[in-house]
Amino acid sequence: MGSTADSEVRATLPPGPERPPGFPFRGPGLLARVVPFAVVAVLAEVSLALPGSGVQSTPAMIASIVLLLATAALFALPWRRLPAWATALVPLTYTGSVLALILAAGATAGVGLVILVPLVWTALFHQRWESACIVMAVVAVEVVTSLVPVAADNAVIARRVLLFAALGTMISVATHGLRDRIAHSQRESAQLQEQLRELTVQQDRDRIAAGLQDEVIQRIFAAGLAMQSAASLSSQPSVRQRVEAAAGDLDQVLRRLRDTVFGLEQRLRDRGLRREILELCGGISPAPEVSFSGPLDGALHPGTGTWLVQLLREALVVIGPDAIPASVGVTTDDKACLTVIEATARPHTAGLDWAARKHDGLVEQAARAGGSIDIEPIPGGVRYALRLPLDGTAALGPGRLS
């Protein structure tokens, strides 16, 4: 990931939407792409200078060298300003150089295999239609070399055309198929790496959240509640204001801690419900402690998730006047989603009979969602337990809560 080897692999991939025009002749890895083919081309030209080789046509030899130099010069074209089809000019120009070379050396001189150079080049670095053009050009070269200077037998011409067309097609199809498989494997590898990064971030978030919850958040929250209680006991307005301001600062610290923990995950597409619950609870002052156990978005039907957020909002509204939500825990198993809200009673409601309170609207809404809600007093406060099924009993979601 980001290594030199990985960059070299990318440099040999086929041009695509992310590649600039003229990719095979520009960009990283240019020398690695060009040098092997250039060496073969130069060796083919130099081989005619070997003793006993002979040159049957000097004009054809000159034309071959000129076309080879023109092929090299085409690399310097301003490819960004040229149409996309212009990239096929380079292998076609070299194919013409090979034709002239074969005519200069003779069909039996042994240089005919050089015709595979432009074919392999396009199969490796160009698109399929360009490879098809080169295959047709190779077939044309074989036809011309079979007719000049002396026409070969018809069977020989047909055999050369058939075999070179089959060979060129096989090389092109096999190479393009291999490139497609490499590109597909790299896409799968990128997806796996992305999933691994997401899992790593999630594990780090859970680890940090657990440490903060056990050692920091609970103590800060308890200190904030104690300061609010102390402020209500003071008869001096200035002291009360300072204590309440300090409690507000602690609340802001809690918010920042939660933002830090849950902001580690940059992409919360698959945890949108968690984000909604966190934002809902984050709007309360002081902010309650929020915890999750088990899968949430992947387990709940979308309609059930909408009910969960609406019922949680309604419960927090009902709790608000007489208690302070201390914690919100969402637990999901293979059958249901259990949301537990534990609230601490405010000083002026310490003796309130929670069982006698009006919760009919909340209970009715939970029943419409296909679930239930249990409300019971606990030492120093009240506990709400909302249970919703996972099977999407209320798939349409709630209407307007009253």
Q: How far is the CA of 264 from the CAs of 48, 211, 255, 281, 349, in angstroms?
A: 67, 15, 14, 18, 39
pLDDT of residue 94: 93
Write out the two tokens for 219: 């103590």
Q: Where are the alpha helices (DSSP H) in 291-352?
A: 302-319
Is the confidence at residue 20, as pLDDT, over 80?
A: no
Mean pLDDT is lowest, of 144-153, 210-219, 279-288, for 210-219
What's the pLDDT at 402?
Answer: 36
Strands 323-332 and 372-378: unpaired
pLDDT tens digits along 369-383: 888 888 888 887 888
* pLDDT beyond 90 at 52: no
* Percentage of the residues of the chain whose pLDDT score is greater than 70: 80
The pLDDT of residue 93: 94
pLDDT at 62: 93
- What is residue 399's predicted lDDT score, i.e. its pLDDT? 43
Tell me the per-residue pLDDT of 113-154, one tens digit each, with 9 for 90 and over.
889 999 999 999 888 999 999 999 999 988 888 888 777 778
Confidence class of residue 232 from pLDDT cuts 50, 70 and 90?
Answer: confident
Per-residue pLDDT reduced to its tens digit, 300-339 = 777 788 888 888 888 888 777 777 888 888 888 877 888 8
pLDDT higher for 33 or 227?
Answer: 33
CB neighbour class for 139 (10 Å; exposed up to 12, middle 13-18, buried from 19): middle
Q: Is 364 helix (H, G, I), strand (E, B) or coil?
A: helix
Query: What's the average model confidence in pLDDT over 157-176?
Result: 87
Task: Check pLDDT > 70 for residue 194.
Answer: yes
Looking at per-residue pLDDT, the higher value among 315 and 209 belongs to 315
Token look-up 């690399």 returns: 75
CA torsion sign, 312 to 315 to 320 to 323?
A: negative
Which tokens in the block code for residue 149?
């200077």
- What would the mean pLDDT of 79-108 be, rounded to a whole number? 88
- Contacts of 48-52 with C-beta under 8 Å, sequence gap 24+, read 48/101, 48/104, 48/105, 48/109, 48/111
Mean pLDDT of 203-216: 68
Q: What is the mean pLDDT of the chain?
A: 78
Q: What is the pLDDT of residues 54-77, one digit of tens each?
A: 788 889 999 999 999 999 999 988
* pLDDT tens, residue by residue, 132-142: 999 999 999 88
- Of residues 124 and 360, more confidently modeled: 124
3-state SS, one letter per residue, for 227-269: HHHHHHHCCCHHHHHHHHHHHHHHHHHHHHHHHHHHCCCCCCH
Instruction: Give DSSP secondary structure letters for 45-70.
Output: HHGGGSTTT--S-HHHHHHHHHHHHH
DSSP alpha helix (H) spans, 88-153? 89-105, 116-125, 128-147
pLDDT at 401: 39
The pLDDT, as a whole number, for residue 90 is 92
Greater pLDDT, 75 or 392:
75
Half-sphere exposure of residue 289, counting CA atoms within 13 Å on the CB side?
21
Per-residue pLDDT at 393: 53
DSSP one-letter code for 288: P
Can you give the pLDDT at residue 71? 93
H or E segment at 342? Answer: strand 336-345
Q: What average pLDDT score do residues 234-242 get?
A: 78
Of residues 363 and 52, more confidently modeled: 363
Give the residue-averaged pLDDT of 243-247.
Answer: 80
